Amino acid sequence: MTQFDPDPKSAALLEVTDLVRHYTLPRERLFGPAPMVKALNGVSFSVRPGQSLGIVGESGSGKSTIARLVMALDRPTSGHVKLLGRDLHALPKDALRAARRDVQMVFQDPYGSLDPRQTVARIVAEPLEALAETSRAEQRERAGESLAAVGLRSTDLHKYPHEFSGGQRQRIAIARALITRPKLIVADEPVSALDVSVQAQVLNLMQDLQQQFGISYLLISHDLAVVNHLCDEVCVLHRGLVVERGAPRHLFAHAQHPYTRALLDAVPRAEPLASA
């Protein structure tokens, strides 16, 4: 893999502008109005090369909807998602397929996101197969490089997902995201399904990969500690709107919005044991 050296003065890698996504639900009554879910109501943010942005909020706040729209897995009701200046939702199919080289995704569940019937070699090389620009030999070579980058061995290529622990499976998922040498990785709750001891290992790995390859992360999470560990900036999402944003340590120490303060108050804190 080649190292990507971001220019700090360069324009935004990812630019999201006035993003709106409303979903129409099935009618509850035959002649009644169709219910509307307003998942996003005008969200804007940007991610610079080599930087990480966290999106935090409770379930139903619109976090995963943002991930799907940034990955162009869904279309917005209105607004724009631009990656390297390209409006992803305005691209023709072939151009969008090519643009996916620059943005990959790591999903929450390391058990459900890997096909148990496929070898690690096929799983990791899957994004290259979709681009249809490389031979099988090159795909296998690149898969071995990606595994090595996440701390696994090239000899693991012939194995199947059930032969690995949860943390190792998430490393395989990260290797799959790395294989196209993307500029941006969208990570949707990437450590929430892992044991606490393994979470730190995966987060440290993501930091190391960012320093090595200049990757930017869009981190979707409900865990403020995870965002504080990995991100340069955080957006607090509430009912489809960004209600507060800033550097994590400053924002979490000086939260202004009542919803941000409520999130912080909900974080468990260790209490000293009462003396007998």
Half-sphere exposure for 205 (CA within 13 Å, toward CB)? 23
Q: Is residue 218 part of a domain?
A: yes
Mean pLDDT over residues 6-28, rounded? Answer: 80
- Measured CA to CA, the distance from residue 243 to residue 225 in angstroms comes to 19
Q: Is residue 1 part of a domain?
A: no
pLDDT(271) > 60: no
pLDDT(266) > 90: no
pLDDT(8) > 50: no
Mean pLDDT over residues 57-67, rounded? Answer: 90
Q: What is the pLDDT of residue 31?
A: 76
Q: Based on the structure, what is the number of domains in the chain?
A: 1
Q: Dump pLDDT digits (tens) for 32-43.
A: 787 888 999 999
Q: What is the pLDDT of residue 109?
A: 81
Q: Is residue 154 part of a domain?
A: no
CA 78 to chain centre: 22
- Measured CA to CA, the distance from residue 224 to residue 58 in angstroms comes to 11
Phi-psi sector, 57: left (phi>0), alpha (psi -120 to 50), beta: left
pLDDT band at residue 56 under the 50/70/90 scheme: very high
Those residues with Cβ within 8 angstroms of residue 262's Cβ, 6 or more apart along the chain or in another chain: none
Q: Is residue 39 part of a domain?
A: yes
- What range does the domain containing 91 cover? 14-110+184-264
pLDDT(3) > 70: no
pLDDT(270) > 80: no
Q: Is residue 64 part of a domain?
A: yes
Q: Dump pLDDT digits (tens) for 161-208.
A: 999 999 999 999 999 999 999 999 999 998 887 888 889 999 999 999
Mean pLDDT over residues 196-225, rounded? Answer: 92
Of the candidate ranges 57-66, 104-113, 266-275, the one whose mean pLDDT is the lowest: 266-275
Q: Is residue 240 part of a domain?
A: yes
Residue 204 is part of a domain; what is its CATH number?
3.40.50.300
DSSP 267: S
pLDDT band at residue 85 under the 50/70/90 scheme: very high
pLDDT(29) > 80: no
Q: What is the pLDDT of residue 197?
A: 83
Q: Is residue 117 part of a domain?
A: no
Burial 224-252 (b: 16+ CB within 10 A, else e): bebbbbbbebbbbbbebbbbbbbebeebb
Q: How far is CA 118 from CA 123, 126, 140, 179, in A?
A: 6, 10, 14, 17
Q: Is residue 119 part of a domain?
A: no
Q: What is the pLDDT of residue 214?
A: 93
